[in-house]
Amino acid sequence: MSRRWKIFSLLFFFALCAAAMVATEAVRRHTAPPAGQELLAVINRQLSAFRAADFRGAYQHSAAVVQQKFSLVEFERMVRRDFNSMTQIGKVELGAIRVDGATAFAQVFLTAPDGIVHGYLYSFTAEGDGWKIDGVQSLGVMPARRPAGLRV
């Protein structure tokens, strides 16, 4: 292989890498970061479906990765077993939010009718024209008092 050909190949490779970096950054910028109200609306719609025992409706707010992992029946079973308190929530408060491209994380405080506050960390994925819930992790139960944090 001649020296010119090696130089040309190397320059072509670097140009291709640079183009990939530019394209990736453009895609990241294309996904608009969600407003707190937008994430809260997704959470409220899913919780409303839980309260109405409409697990099919709640399932629609789940990300594709969740729907691939769980069938509707498995999703309902998981919610009833692991997140049953979510079906009886009275008040929802949004805490800190972190957005990283097409993913977002939000602290959520759910107050039960007895005043007990359940903390959760929700993770979201941008899909299509909106945000979908791709995970919920319990942060534990807090005393029956107002949690410190931002009220939206």
Residue ranges of domains in the chain: 1-30, 34-142
Per-residue pLDDT band for 113 (boundaries 50, 70, 90) equals: confident
Q: Give all strands of the β-sheet with 103-111 in edge-to-edge order.
A: 91-100, 103-111, 117-127, 130-142
Q: Please give the share of the chain, as a percent, with pLDDT higher than 90.
A: 34
User: Is residue 107 pLDDT above 80, yes or no?
Assistant: yes
pLDDT for res 147: 53
pTM score, whole prediction: 0.70
pLDDT for res 34: 61
CATH for the 34-142 domain, from 2.60.120.280, 3.10.450.50, 3.20.20.150, 3.40.50.300: 3.10.450.50
Q: Rounded to whole angstroms, what are the CA distances from 129 to 1, 4, 41, 104, 126?
A: 50, 48, 14, 15, 8
User: Is residue 143 pLDDT above 80, yes or no?
Assistant: no
Q: How far apart are CA 15 and CA 1, in angstroms?
A: 21
21, amino acid identity: M
pLDDT for res 128: 82
Encode burial over 119-129: b for 16+ CB neighbours within 10 A, e otherwise. Answer: bbbbebbbeee
> What confidence tens digit (pLDDT) does each residue in 119-141 have?
999 999 999 878 999 999 989 88
124, amino acid identity: F
| C-beta of residue 102 within 8 angstroms of C-beta of residue 31 | yes
